Each structure stands twice: as C-alpha cells, then as structure tokens.
Structure 1
Amino acid sequence: MKRLNFSRKKIKTIGYWILGLLVVGIGMGFAFRQSILEQIIAKAVVKMKSEYQCELVVKNPHFEGLEHIAIDGMSLTPHQADTLVQMGPVRTGFNFWKLLTGTLQITDLEINGGYVQWVKTKNGSNFDAFLQKKEKEDTFTTVDYAELANRLTARFLNLIPTQMNIKGFALKINDLGHKVQLDFTQFMLQQQQLTTAIRLTEGEIHQQWQLSGFADPRNRKADLIFKNKKNDTLILPYLQHKFHLKTAFQSARFHLDNMGMDSGDFHTDGFASIQQLVLNHPKIASKDVEIAQARVDFHWIIGERSIALDSSSLLTLGKLQCRPYLFYEKEDGKTYALKLQIPKTKAQDFIDALPKGLFSHFEGMTATGNFKYQLDFSYHDKNPNALVFESKLQPEKLQITHYGAADLGKINSEFVYRAIEKGIPQRPILIGSSNPLYTPLTEISPFLQKCVLTSEDPSFMRHRGFINEAFKQSIAKNIRTKKFARGASTISMQLVKNVFLTREKTLSRKLEEILLVYILENQRIATKERMLEVYFNIIEWGPDVYGIGEAAQYYFQKKPSELTFKECLFLATIIPKPKGFMYRFDGTQQPKTFAQQQFDFLTRLMLRRQLITPNDTLGYGQPLKITGPARERLQSKIRDTVVLDSLRLDEFEF
C-alpha cells in the first residue's frame, strides 16, 4: 500500500513539473511573440521578393490579447506592375490551443477597406509570377485520394472564420481595358448566419447581389442562397467577354449536409439547385438556352485511388428525374466510366423538361406513352479496344401525337430543300416528281446504291438509326487521338441533318439530330426505301450540285440509271468532300493513286460481301472520263499536294 501511495505522489509531482514547464513555455512564447511575428513577416517579405518579384509591406503588425493579431494595413505590389493587394486595418483571431498542436484555425476576421485587383495589359499582368508552374513530382501516383481530400478540406475550412465582418472591400479585374468590379459593402458571418451586400459593375451592367444563409465551417455544413437583391436576373460577369459565354440565372442554392471520412473513403453529400438559368455560347446553340429549374442531389465518394459521383445521386429537370454515375480511377492506367439511368417516365414530361433553345425543333411537340433509358460507358486507357458503350431506350406505347418545328412527316411528300452554307441559304431544290431532275430510287443505278451504302452505311437497311459498334470505335479513336478524328454518322443521321437541321457545329444541333433520328426510325414515319431516295436527291455531290439527277449530268452527262460501276465508285467516294473532287485527279485528268486505291478497296469489299459479281466489274480497268460541265474544273491547274480526307479506309466495316 505504501508503494502504491509513493507511485501516485511521484506521478502527481511529474504532472506538476510538466504543467509548470508548459506554463513557462507559454509565458516565454507570450513574451517573445512580437519578435516571432516580426520574424515570420520578414521571411514572407523575402520570399515574395525572391520567388515572386513582389514587394510586400505590412504596417504595424502587433498582438491584441492572447489570440488576436492586427495590422494597420498591407500591400503586395509586383515589380513594375499595378498593386495586386491593398488592405486597410485588419484584425484576425486564431485558436491558441489548436495552434499548439500545429493547426492554424482562424476564429474571426475583420477587414476595413481594401481591394484585390488583377490587371492585364499588352505587356503582361500583375499576377504572372504566381502562375508560373514549378516542377513537382506527380504525388497523385502514390497519394491516397481520400486522405488528401480530407486533409485539404480540413485546412481550407480551418481558414474560414466562424465570425467575420468585411466592409469596403473590392475585387477588381482589368483585362486589356475591360473592367469588372465587385464591391463587398457588407460581408458578415455571425452566429452561423451569413449576410452580404455585393455590388457588381461591368460596363453598363449594375447589379446588387446577395449571398445569405447558414454556414458552419467547423462542422462542415452549409445552406447558402445566391440571388439578385431585386429578385431579378443575376448575370455572372467577365465570362462573356473572356469566353463568349453568357450566363445568367435568378437564384442558386447550395446545401451541404455531410463531408468527411467514413470507412476509409471521403464522402460529400448535399444538393445544388438553380432557377431560370440562361446560357449562350456559339458552341452550345445559336440562341439562348433556358432551363427553368434544375437540381442535383449529389453523393461524392473519394476512395484511395478513385473519385465517383455515386449512383444514389439524382438529377432533376422539371418532372424529369435521372440517376447519373461518374467514375474515375487511377490504378494501372486510367479508367473512366459514365452511367445514366432514367426510370419509367412519361414521354411528355421528358419533352417538357428539354431546355428551351437547346431543342428548338421539339418545342410544341406532344407525345403519349412512357419510356425507360440506360446509358453505360467505360474506357480504360491501357485497353481502349475494350471500350463499353451501350445505349438502351425501352418505349412503352410511345407515340408522337404532334410534331414541333421539325415536321418529320414532310419527308413522305413533296417539299422544298435549301442547303445552308456558312449560315447562308442556298438555292431552293424541289424534292419531288415536279422537279425533272428528281430521281426515284428505282431509276438510280443499283451499282450506285450499293457503292454508297457500302462506303457510308453498310447496315442502313437493318439498323434503327444508330450503330452501337460504330459509336464505340469512333469514341475510342477520338480519345486515343485526343481530337475529333472520326465520326459515326449513319445515312439516317445525315438525312435528318440535311432535311430538318442546319450544318452548324453546336451541341444543340447534335442532340437534336440524335433525338430526331430515333423518332424518324422507331416511329416508322418513313420506309427505308423512301429515306434512301430522299437522301440521294438532296445530298451535295459537288460545287452547287445537289441530288443525283444533277450529279449524273454534271460529271457524266447521263441519267442516274445509266451510270457505270466505276462512275458509281467515283460518286460514292466524293460524298464526304464533294466540293474538292477536282483534287482527286492528276494532270492527265485521271484519278490519283490514293483515289484509285479507294476504288480498289471498295470493289474488293463489295465482292467479298457478294454485293456484286466479277462480271459487274468488266470494264473496271478503263479510264474514268469526266465528260460533263465538271470537266472545266479539271482543265484548270490541279495542285500536286492532296490531303487524304475524303475516305478513310479504316472506317469500313469488315
């Protein structure tokens, strides 16, 4: 018993010694804290000057109490450039006990006046030095993504004060004379409630913004609403000037429920929503794209080597709901995956949810019935040929009861077609028997039909608008080459693009093309024979040459039914680049080597598939003679250098 008492006394004494040393250490730190603060600032001044060529000035740095630091002002000015940062009096607090463990946690912040400005001139910018990339090792090859995300999030949130009061602070941008300014007349966080008043000025645009709601950085929770003070449209500045992107909305909300580690993974849960979103960009659509309301309930999971938007996430557009899944993994190469699932949905709800301006040809369309949809895509850079692309739409009594701007039914009757070249409508072409050069399918050489189908769309008569395998090969090649090197356009897609849409290269046009092709093919609006007949009579075959009736006269002074096998080969191979047909010929007005190789390849392919017989190729060795008006273009000097882009041999289906 005495021994036990002695041990307790000894432990108690050691405890007193430790506490005493701690108090002495804190006391000494408190006594020398001003000197330490000045040393830290001095090192920062040297670093800014040596590494970033900037002059850092901090006025009267001093402590106020145990846990607060104040300065009378500071500035950061790059050499021979405009001031980057200018601040008036600043007072900030920190958690003293957290600091003893090596963690900097800001508790409160007060700023009275100042600005941050980015200035770019023809001679450079005042932030160039901070954009220089330093050579670093690729830490992502070994780092645990989940641990990294958790660590960076903790550091970032610890720097957000739980109490904040900022007045008279401005963010300025001057990009070669284009000026944008955000004035934070009020930015206050008190008792986890955020209140702001922000004034935007950009040219003739003057707006009052509000960012308000609940914010708890220590517990990683937030519920914030961003809107215009007058409940009017809120315009995001600078994007239109810099990227030609017009962006505006009425309000946006961000809600964060949970963020942290769970079972070795880093999880983030919440939702984001936006009302009355308007987008406009030349690559998106030719007009404003409007989304009345959109919301995404997200669940992000970051694992040791992966990042994923979990399939429990939900995307909502009007009455349309779908479940997206995104996945990226870096483990023995890179894996990318995308899945999209639309549960049983009313067709009309889908049409009503389509963003206005993005699907202009569907506005006014009505439909009955339901459908389900699933998309499954995955790609591994070490095994690109194993790419997965599956798109499945399951209709249920789906019926279009009224067409929108794109009247698909007109394809079955006589109509006027006008090609669009660089936004300019070309001369009208009557597609129907009233046009003497219009050619019914039965009067078009079977050789030409077989040549065109083989080179453009071998399975046209069997598929329903799309060829999954062609899509897979196209996507794989485009990813490998990191550019749009190959398409997967079927004759159905080309027909829809020519008859109902323009040739503008926008996201809108491509999405409309896909949906219109599906409706045309799967609603049985026209027979395959009728679609092929219209296709032959509207496509471009040369400079201002439209339809096979004009083409047969232009090149050979013949009717389409009189064309020889070799003449049909020629016409089939110029479809991708019809205006440049003359560059396929040499100085003797005969096909160049690459053009003849295409003829040979196409012929062998058709023989192998038994689309033609050897007897059909009799006379194949005879010279190809251009006898029509096209001959005048061949008589001019033909360039020696030709880019082989009219027909890629590797795009044929074997």
Structure 2
Amino acid sequence: MILVILLFVFRSRVLQYTIGRVITKVENKYPVDFNIGNAEFASWNTVVLSNISLTPHNQATLFTTDSVNATVSVSSIFRGRVVFRRLEVANGYLTAVKNGDRNNFSFLFKKDDNAPVDTTEAKGRNYGALLNRVIETAFDNVPDQVYFKNLNASYVSTNRTIDVKMPYFTMDDGKIDARMSVKVDSLENNMHVQGAIDPGDYVISVDLFAFDDRGITLPYVKEKLAGKVAFDTLHLSLTNKTFRRDMLTVRGSAMVNDLIVNHEKLADEDIHVKEGAVDYVVTLGPNLYVIDSLTEVRVNKAKANIYAAYNNATSKIIDLKVKTEEVPANNFFESLPSGLFENLEGIRAQGKLKYKMSFHLNMDSVNQVRFNSDLDASDDFKIVQYGNTNLKKINGSFVHTVYEYGKPVRTFTVGPSNPFFSPISEISPYLRNAILTAEDAYFYQHNGFHEEAFRQAIAKNLKEGEFARGGSTISMQLVKNVFLTRQKTVTRKVEEAIIVWMIENLDLVSKNRMFEVYLNIIEWGPDVYGAKDASRFYFGKQPSELNLAEAIFLTSIIPSPKRFRSSFDSYGNLRPYKSGYYRLIGGNMLRRGLISREVYDSLSPNVQLYGRARDLIVTAQDTSVVEEMDTTQFELNTIDLLDF
C-alpha cells in the first residue's frame, strides 16, 4: 500500500525524469533538437504529451505532432522506459526535405562510430538472426490499442514529391483498420487497409485494397524499370516464426487479385493474372537461404511446389526444384495469364499434366551443373480445340512472316506455290547432314529438347559471364520462327517450350516435315530465306547441287547470317579462321558415318562465289584481269613499232 502511495505521489516527477532521459538520449545520439512541450498524467496511468517536435541542427523540422495521449505501464516508467498500452496520436507531420546535398533525415542512417565492431560480419552476417530481432522488437512494442488521426508524411526534393495522408489508423483488440492516400509525383493511390494482429504469437494478417476503381499501381516501376505493376487487392500474412540454432523459419501467405504486369522484356502487352497466391515457408540462417518445398505457388487454378536454396558457407551453391501434382490439362491452360502466351490463349485439352524440374549449381564447378525438366501427360491427353494458332498448320502450305526486332519485314508462302520452296528430297544431303551435325545432332532421336546441350549451354554462359550459347534444338528454332515474334522476352522461351512439347509429344508434325520447313524459312543473308534462295545467292546453283564445302559454309553462317561478309576477304576467299570450323564439322560427319574418308580427305575450306553474293563481297580489283590487259597492250605496242 505504501508503495502504491509513493508511486502516485512521485509519478509526475518520475515521468519528467524519464522524459528528460529520453530527450537527452536522442540528442546525444543525433544532431537534433528534440522537444516535448508538456508531459503530464491525465489519470492514474494516462500520459498526455503535447507540442512534440524533432528538428535537425540547421535544417527544417523533420517531425511534429499536436498531442500524444497514451495509457502506459507505470512500472515501466520507473524502469526508465515507457511501455504503451493505449496510444492516441493526432495531427502528426513527418516532412523529409532534400535540397542538393543537404537534407534533414540522413543523420538517422549514419553509422555510429562508437558502436562496437561487428565481428560476426567477417564470418558472414546471419540475416535470420537480424530479421528475428526486427520481428520481435516490432511485435513486442505494439500497443494494445492504437488510434491515429490525421497522420501525414511527405518527401520533397528537386525532382520528386511524395505525399502520404492517413486520415485514420486504428488497432483495437487485435483488429487493424486504416485509410491511406499515397501520391508519388502525379501517381495517386487511394487504399483501405484491414487486418488482424496477435503480438504475443507474432501473427499478423493484412489486406490492402483499392478504395476506388482505379486499382493500386506501384510507383517507380515505370521510371526505374520501364514497366507497370498494378493490382486490386493484396493480402499478406505472417502466421508463425521459430528461431532455433541460429536459424529463423517464417511461415505465412500472400495473395494478389487482378494483377497487371507490363514490361517489354516479359511480353508484348499487359499480363493479367486474375488471382495469384503463395503459401510460403522460408528459412534464413548463417550463409543459408531456403524456400522450403512446402511452399506452394498458385496462379489461377494451377499449383506448384517450389524449393530453392542458396548456400555460400564454403562455395556458392544454388538449388531449385519445381513440382506439380497431376492436374487436369484444362486447369493448366486456363490458368496461363492472358497476354502472356498469345498462341495458346483459348486452347482446350483433355487428360492430365504433371511437371517436375530440378537444377543444381556449384559455382566452383560450373561444368558439373545439373538440370532436368519433365512435363508428363496422361495417356488420354490430347488437344480438342486449338486457341489463337493451329499448331498443325505447318503440315501443309502456310504463309510465313519474318520478324526483326518485333516488326514484320517479309511475308512468303512455305509450299509448292512458292518457286523458292525446296522439298527436303531436293536439298543436298551434304547440307542436311552438316546442319544436323552443327545445330542438332540428335534431332531425329529427341522429343524436342536436348537436356545435355542445354546443360552445357548453362555451363558455358556461366563461365563466360554472358549469353554465349543457347542450347536450342532445331524443333525450338522452328517454333520460334514459325509461331513466335522475334522479340526477346522471358515468356517467349516458356511459350516456345510448351509448343515444342505439344508438337513433338503429340506427333502433330513429323520430323521430316519439321526439318523441311526449317530448311525453307531460316535466314541466310540479306533478304535470303531458305536453302534454294541461299544456294542461288552464294553459288548460283540449286540446293541439290551443293558440294560438301559449300554446305559447311552455309551451315557456318546460320547463327549470324547478317555477318556473312565477315567469312570472306575482299577477293571472295574464305578467311583462314574458317578452316577450324571445316575440320570440326567434317570430322564429326566422318565419325557419324555421314561422309566417307575419301570425301573428308578431299575437303578444303574453299568455295567459289557466284550470283548476287559475289557483287556484295568481292570489292578488290581482279589483278589477273589487269595483268592480262597489260600484256595485250604490250603486244599491240610491239606490232605498232614493227609496222613503223
């Protein structure tokens, strides 16, 4: 009883003492003037603070508020810190100002020179422990009740203005409700926030949704990434956390409705996801970051379990696995986001599909990279209705459009009505076999994908630090040319893979027909498409008449047909560096039994240019003609002298 009376008598003095300590601590740590105009008890455990401001030295005021009305734990005041039970804040203003190199906020982020050295950083920072401290500190200081009214935050600089207005924010009995308006330059989002929080169990769930029909658009995406991200509703939650043996594991979920994504590297138009969700299990620890295989990602009706891990304890090791259960094929196709795969929109199928992928990479031994990808279909799987594109169209004559940089440059018919079309039987076996040897030796054996070639391509690209090799099969190149625009987007490769899988696994087109179409549409030079056009352009002959040397040359320029001139000197002779390519392709053809030893021994990197190509490539004066003219002139001069 006496203690209670003492607390009541001295509480105001203790409050003033505690407030003074807080002000001194803040001003000793930062170059600021921190003012609390008045602090007093309004009741036994209710404190009213008024006229609060924080002003950096020689800078504009950073924060002000009219009043803070708080219900506190009186015992916490005697311990030198304030624990809030109920918090009411009215008319708060946070104003960050930047003018050139001067601002009123950067002092908050400067490193404390007197702080002890972090010796753990040398061994690798434990972001799990760091995040665990952040979560626990945040949740442990959540008041039981919060009532904010008219809170405002702004950032002003010479090239940016950000305004955040919060008419109200309430948290009562674990329920969260707020209204917010965020304006970044000319972009304004009006949103409503609702949710629930249980600080004792570290649980929080928040729903963010548009307050009007304009949706919510993320700022900076257009400026920084030249794209757009917008949505109608966003749900975020943390449902559980555990911290054991320096490892933090968090569980929760996220969901977004009516997501719109637009970026030229992803697709040509807006990508629309009606509903996307993820139930996540993530673990962070010393040199370890793991997305657990219990993590489930859902896009509309399609679901997949994801496992990803990055371990850099001794070397950088990356693992990625994707797995789906067997799902109805229509669920898969209907779940593809609109605007993402133009050719597949509207497709209908029966049966079921199942997918599995695994990837493992140790950066200390990139040659040992492992990659496996399998899309399996049930026995009754088949396409019952094509979408925007009939994938069987290449079985007959069709109109083909060539694209460059996403724009059409030429259109022609692939079929007998085109005088430049060549049936595969009328194309030299030397050319057919040289292309197969160089581009896709196992074309007639695989089902559209050659995982070993793809694995080698990954290894080579990682070692060279750039995209140096693609690993595409002839099937993939055919689909890319016939069905897809040539814009290099991430999603184009996915669409390419799906179409290749269907054509090959459903036997929609025979291998011979695929190769025949490929040979008649690929580029071989300036406005030169197909084997017949190329044979005439370079050598003035039919594709059936090509010899081995000519065939290997045509094969050599397929990866970069626009650079065809670089293969020759100004006299029309193949440059010496081509000899290595001839030995490689000729030797492989010999080992595979595609040419005889006699043909190989007679092979030399030498071709004779005729037709239009010669006019473009040969720029040097023909010295043999000059010498002949000089001799003739000498003979004429001699005759003239004799006559004289």
| Length-normalised TM-score, structure 1 | 0.83
| Aligned-partner Cα distance in 1 for 2:414–2:225 | 41
2:297–2:304 contact (8 Å) kept in structure 1: yes
Q: Which amino acid aligns with 1:548?
A: A
**The structure with more radius of gyration:** 2
Aligned to 1:60: 36
1:193 is the counterpart of 2:165? no
1:355 is the counterpart of 2:341? no
Q: Which amino acid aligns with 1:261?
A: F
Q: Which amino acid aligns with 2:62?
A: V
Match of 1:391 among 368, 373, 386: 373
Q: In structure 2, do the counterparts of structure 1 residues 38 and 570 end up closer, same or farther at CA, with 3 Å as the change threshold?
A: same
Structure 2: gaps spanning 5 or more residues: 1-6, 622-644
Q: CA deviation at 1:507?
A: 1.8
Any idea what the Cα deviations from partners look like across 1:618-645, whole Å, max 9, x if unmatched? 653373222121122213589xxxxxxx
1:226 is the counterpart of 2:203? no
Show the 5 A alignment for 1:229-268: 229-230=211-212, 233-261=215-243, 265-268=247-250
Q: CA deviation at 1:84?
A: 8.5
Match of 1:425 among 403, 408, 412: 408
Aligned to 1:17: none
Aligned to 2:51: 72
Aligned to 1:523: 506
| Aligned-partner Cα distance in 1 for 2:317–2:596 | 46
Match of 1:490 among 473, 477, 485: 473
Aligned to 2:64: 87
Q: CA deviation at 1:96?
A: 7.1
Partner of 1:461, secondary structure, is coil
Show the 5 A alignment for 1:132-531: 139=121, 141-142=123-124, 146-172=128-154, 177=159, 179-202=161-184, 206-230=188-212, 233-261=215-243, 265-396=247-378, 397-531=380-514
1:216–1:222 contact (8 Å) kept in structure 2: yes
* Percent of aligned pairs sharing the same letter: 30
Q: Which moves more between the two structures, 452-461 or 36-45?
A: 36-45
1:595 is the counterpart of 2:602? no
Aligned to 1:36: 21
Show the 5 A alignment for 1:528-543: 528-543=511-526
Partner of 1:593, secondary structure, is coil
| Aligned-partner Cα distance in 1 for 2:248–2:566 | 59
Any idea what the Cα deviations from partners look like across 1:385-415, whole Å, max 9, x if unmatched? 3322111222112111111122111110101
Q: In structure 2, do the counterparts of structure 1 residues 599 and 196 end up closer, same or farther at CA, with 3 Å as the change threshold?
A: same
Q: Which amino acid aligns with 1:40?
A: K
| Aligned-partner Cα distance in 2 for 1:382–1:28 | 65
Q: In structure 2, do the counterparts of structure 1 residues 62 and 628 end up closer, same or farther at CA, with 3 Å as the change threshold?
A: farther
2:49–2:67 contact (8 Å) kept in structure 1: yes
Q: CA deviation at 1:238?
A: 3.2
| Aligned-partner Cα distance in 2 for 1:100–1:29 | 7
Q: In structure 2, do the counterparts of structure 1 residues 448 and 97 end up closer, same or farther at CA, with 3 Å as the change threshold?
A: farther
| Aligned-partner Cα distance in 1 for 2:246–2:104 | 42
Q: Which moves more between the two structures, 259-268 or 318-327?
A: 259-268
2:62–2:105 contact (8 Å) kept in structure 1: no
Q: Which moves more between the two structures, 426-435 or 304-313?
A: 304-313
Partner of 1:599, secondary structure, is helix
2:330–2:349 contact (8 Å) kept in structure 1: yes
Q: In structure 2, do the counterparts of structure 1 residues 452 and 430 end up closer, same or farther at CA, with 3 Å as the change threshold?
A: same
| Aligned-partner Cα distance in 2 for 1:36–1:123 | 32
Aligned to 2:630: none
1:112 is the counterpart of 2:94? no
Partner of 2:346, secondary structure, is coil
Q: Which moves more between the two structures, 338-347 or 169-178?
A: 169-178
Partner of 1:566, secondary structure, is helix
2:99–2:158 contact (8 Å) kept in structure 1: yes
2:30–2:107 contact (8 Å) kept in structure 1: no
Partner of 1:552, secondary structure, is helix
2:582–2:605 contact (8 Å) kept in structure 1: no
Partner of 1:89, secondary structure, is strand
Q: In structure 2, do the counterparts of structure 1 residues 618 and 209 end up closer, same or farther at CA, with 3 Å as the change threshold?
A: same
Aligned to 2:629: none
| Aligned-partner Cα distance in 2 for 1:133–1:490 | 54
Q: In structure 2, do the counterparts of structure 1 residues 637 and 399 end up closer, same or farther at CA, with 3 Å as the change threshold?
A: farther
2:428–2:546 contact (8 Å) kept in structure 1: yes
Q: CA deviation at 1:264?
A: 6.3
Match of 2:536 among 553, 559, 563: 553
Q: Which moves more between the two structures, 473-482 or 210-219?
A: 473-482
| Aligned-partner Cα distance in 2 for 1:481–1:126 | 45
| Aligned-partner Cα distance in 2 for 1:546–1:453 | 18
Any idea what the Cα deviations from partners look like across 1:203-240, whole Å, max 9, x if unmatched? 66554210112123343111211101246622223322
Any idea what the Cα deviations from partners look like across 1:474-499, whole Å, max 9, x if unmatched? 22333444433321111111100100
Q: In structure 2, do the counterparts of structure 1 residues 595 and 207 end up closer, same or farther at CA, with 3 Å as the change threshold?
A: same
Q: Which amino acid aligns with 1:453?
A: L
Any idea what the Cα deviations from partners look like across 1:7-66, whole Å, max 9, x if unmatched? xxxxxxxxxxxxxxx99x9999767445433421322333xxxxxxxxx34233665458
Q: Which amino acid aligns with 1:281?
A: H
Q: CA deviation at 1:423?
A: 2.6
Q: In structure 2, do the counterparts of structure 1 residues 338 and 92 end up closer, same or farther at CA, with 3 Å as the change threshold?
A: farther
Any idea what the Cα deviations from partners look like across 1:541-566, whole Å, max 9, x if unmatched? 01111111111111111111111211
